[in-house]
Structure 1
Amino acid sequence: MTQKPIINQVEGIFLVLPDHIGREYFVNVMEQLNWFVQQIHEGDGIKKAYQEIWTTEDRANAINYVEDPLTMTHFLWLRGSNIHDLLPEIWGRIPAYESEELLEMAVEAEEHDDAVRAVLRIAVGFPNFDSDALSIFEQYLTSTSPLLRKATIQAIAYRLWTETAPLLEKVSQEDSDEDVKSFAQNILCHLRNS
């Protein structure tokens, strides 16, 4: 894994972490870099994410370490006025997936669980619309597995790109599974009202 992040100027930088990079590893790196923990939000392990918010001494830059049970991912959300200057130090110490790797994992997933993890990682790693990520969603929504189709709707719901409305409309009208169809209808309604 190389250290090329997915950059979004509006929302910051999102780094999806490999499964073996957990809380203890992250805390050790932040302490070595002299960052300061500002807040800890305990998650419930079901719907509410565990989060640690770390800042530079001047509080101009922040990193949220997140363990998200909804997407089954650990990730970092970086933001701040000098974050791009500080990134090389962070990238050199904390492995993270590149955007291309996230897409490749989805394309290459053969097992159901791997496909679910891949599509949910895409939801985290692509905060703004991306045509390649949209293509993965579109492909996964044609799966024979209703569970994978539902996981894809969950991934779409995570970011609610307006560009996903046609996909949600199609699934809400045509999917063969009533649960998937209903879930797509609910997410489409939420998208239209947001």
Structure 2
Amino acid sequence: MKVALFFFIVLYQIIKIMDFNVYDVALAKQFENASIKSMPLVAWDIYSQIFFQTNMLLLDVHSLHQIASKNQWKSMWDFKESLQEETVIVVTDAKLKIVFASKNIQKMNGYEVDEVIGKSPKMFQGAATDLQVSNEIRQAVLNKEPFEKNVINYCKDGSLYKCHIKGFPIFNHKGEVTNFIAFEKIAA
């Protein structure tokens, strides 16, 4: 009974955030692509977790599309595929202040989305971060060039993790850099 109540509370909160049409389309797509069309009653707790994760992914994708539209991005990525691969997506403005972080950032480094918005990605760096790698990333950003690097970052609790970052400048239709986007994963 608690699982069902949790499911409906989460569903109600998601519906409040999302437009009903977006929700209906997303739900239809999920069931359309699913190999199993129905779930036995004993699997509701598992199903609700997957349903919740799918809706969080769709909210992230929707937010990314809004940022892209607002800033008139010249190119687009398949955000849904990236997020399904447990890739964290971080978007900064042209001044390198974080304007978006996918909700799965908390799983990677312990930070909630609200804790990183408005801050610089340098917040994840510290004494163990290789200065040469940081300088190479900084130079690529200044030159408005893509980069791919492994860097030692810090979790919220102070522990270290090796992060593989693919970063790209994002240009609008006028050729101006409006944002930078980074696709981040835990490096092996």
- Please indicate the TM-score interval, normalised by the length of the shorter structure: under 0.3
> TM-score, normalised on structure 2?
0.27
Q: Which has the larger radius of gyration?
A: 2
TM-score, normalised with respect to structure 1? 0.26
